Protein backbone atom coordinates (compact mmCIF):
# COMPACT_ATOMS: atom_id res chain seq x y z
CA UNK A 1 0.00 0.00 0.00
CA UNK A 2 2.79 2.40 0.92
CA UNK A 3 4.54 1.56 -2.35
CA UNK A 4 1.46 2.63 -4.35
CA UNK A 5 1.14 5.82 -2.33
CA UNK A 6 4.76 6.72 -3.01
CA UNK A 7 4.30 5.88 -6.68
CA UNK A 8 1.23 8.12 -6.82
CA UNK A 9 3.17 11.01 -5.27
CA UNK A 10 5.99 10.51 -7.77
CA UNK A 11 3.51 10.37 -10.63
CA UNK A 12 1.81 13.60 -9.55
CA UNK A 13 5.15 15.36 -9.19
CA UNK A 14 6.28 14.15 -12.64
CA UNK A 15 2.94 15.15 -14.17
CA UNK A 16 3.19 18.62 -12.62
CA UNK A 17 6.71 19.04 -14.03
CA UNK A 18 5.52 17.88 -17.46
CA UNK A 19 2.73 20.48 -17.40
CA UNK A 20 5.26 23.23 -16.53
CA UNK A 21 7.46 22.17 -19.45
CA UNK A 22 4.48 22.12 -21.81
CA UNK A 23 3.52 25.65 -20.69
CA UNK A 24 7.06 26.83 -21.40
CA UNK A 25 7.02 25.36 -24.91
CA UNK A 26 3.60 26.93 -25.53
CA UNK A 27 5.02 30.26 -24.36
CA UNK A 28 8.04 29.78 -26.65
CA UNK A 29 5.88 28.96 -29.69
CA UNK A 30 3.64 32.00 -29.11
CA UNK A 31 6.78 34.14 -28.75
CA UNK A 32 8.17 32.88 -32.08
CA UNK A 33 4.86 33.27 -33.95
CA UNK A 34 4.14 36.78 -32.63
CA UNK A 35 7.67 37.96 -33.34
CA UNK A 36 7.53 36.62 -36.90
CA UNK A 37 4.35 38.65 -37.32
CA UNK A 38 5.95 41.74 -35.74
CA UNK A 39 8.97 41.58 -38.04
CA UNK A 40 6.72 40.87 -41.03
CA UNK A 41 4.71 43.99 -40.23
CA UNK A 42 7.93 45.96 -39.79
CA UNK A 43 9.25 44.89 -43.18
CA UNK A 44 5.97 45.49 -45.02
CA UNK A 45 5.38 48.85 -43.33
CA UNK A 46 8.98 49.84 -44.04
CA UNK A 47 8.47 49.05 -47.73
CA UNK A 48 5.18 50.96 -47.80
CA UNK A 49 6.91 54.05 -46.46
CA UNK A 50 9.58 53.91 -49.12
CA UNK A 51 12.41 52.16 -47.30
CA UNK A 52 15.52 54.25 -46.82
CA UNK A 53 13.93 57.27 -48.51
CA UNK A 54 11.75 57.87 -45.49
CA UNK A 55 11.48 61.60 -44.91
CA UNK A 56 11.52 61.54 -41.13
CA UNK A 57 14.55 59.66 -39.80
CA UNK A 58 13.37 60.23 -36.22
CA UNK A 59 10.13 58.36 -36.91
CA UNK A 60 12.06 55.51 -38.52
CA UNK A 61 14.33 55.23 -35.48
CA UNK A 62 11.35 55.37 -33.10
CA UNK A 63 9.47 52.73 -35.11
CA UNK A 64 12.46 50.37 -35.22
CA UNK A 65 13.18 50.82 -31.51
CA UNK A 66 9.59 50.10 -30.52
CA UNK A 67 9.43 47.00 -32.67
CA UNK A 68 12.65 45.67 -31.16
CA UNK A 69 11.78 46.39 -27.54
CA UNK A 70 8.86 43.93 -27.54
CA UNK A 71 10.91 40.87 -28.57
CA UNK A 72 13.78 41.85 -26.27
CA UNK A 73 11.69 42.33 -23.13
CA UNK A 74 9.46 39.35 -23.91
CA UNK A 75 12.59 37.31 -24.61
CA UNK A 76 13.92 38.25 -21.19
CA UNK A 77 10.67 37.03 -19.63
CA UNK A 78 10.90 33.84 -21.69
CA UNK A 79 14.47 33.31 -20.50
CA UNK A 80 13.38 33.65 -16.88
CA UNK A 81 10.46 31.29 -17.53
CA UNK A 82 12.83 28.74 -19.05
CA UNK A 83 15.23 28.98 -16.13
CA UNK A 84 12.40 28.41 -13.67
CA UNK A 85 11.20 25.38 -15.61
CA UNK A 86 14.50 23.69 -16.42
CA UNK A 87 17.15 24.96 -14.01
CA UNK A 88 15.00 25.44 -10.88
CA UNK A 89 12.11 22.99 -11.39
CA UNK A 90 11.20 22.85 -7.69
CA UNK A 91 10.48 26.57 -7.41
CA UNK A 92 6.83 27.53 -7.59
CA UNK A 93 5.10 30.85 -8.02
CA UNK A 94 4.42 30.79 -4.26
CA UNK A 95 8.16 30.68 -3.61
CA UNK A 96 8.70 33.77 -5.75
CA UNK A 97 6.16 35.95 -3.96
CA UNK A 98 7.65 38.50 -1.59
CA UNK A 99 6.96 37.81 2.09
CA UNK A 100 4.81 40.91 2.56
CA UNK A 101 2.37 39.58 -0.06
CA UNK A 102 2.23 36.18 1.65
CA UNK A 103 1.57 37.83 5.01
CA UNK A 104 -1.13 40.08 3.49
CA UNK A 105 -2.84 37.06 1.92
CA UNK A 106 -2.78 35.19 5.24
CA UNK A 107 -4.28 38.22 7.05
CA UNK A 108 -7.00 38.57 4.43
CA UNK A 109 -7.90 34.87 4.62
CA UNK A 110 -8.18 35.10 8.41
CA UNK A 111 -10.28 38.25 8.04
CA UNK A 112 -12.64 36.58 5.56
CA UNK A 113 -12.89 33.49 7.74
CA UNK A 114 -13.79 35.70 10.71
CA UNK A 115 -16.46 37.48 8.65
CA UNK A 116 -18.00 34.15 7.69
CA UNK A 117 -17.88 32.95 11.29
CA UNK A 118 -19.88 36.01 12.42
CA UNK A 119 -22.70 35.33 9.92
Predicted TM-score (pTM) of this structure: 0.67
Contact 78, 31 (CB under 8 A): yes
What is the biggest distance separating any 2 CA atoms in the chain, rounded to whole angstroms? 77
Percent helix, strand, coil in the chain (nearest 5)? 90, 0, 10
pLDDT single digits (tens) 74-92 = 999 999 999 989 988 877 7
At 42, the pLDDT band (50, 70, 90 cuts) reads confident
Give the integer Cα–Cα distance in Å for 2 and 83. 34
Q: How many Å apart are CA 27 and CA 22, to the nearest integer?
A: 9
Amino acid sequence: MEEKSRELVQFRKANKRLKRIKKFYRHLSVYVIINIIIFGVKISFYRELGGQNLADQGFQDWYTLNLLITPLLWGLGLLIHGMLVFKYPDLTSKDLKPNFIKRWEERKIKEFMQENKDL
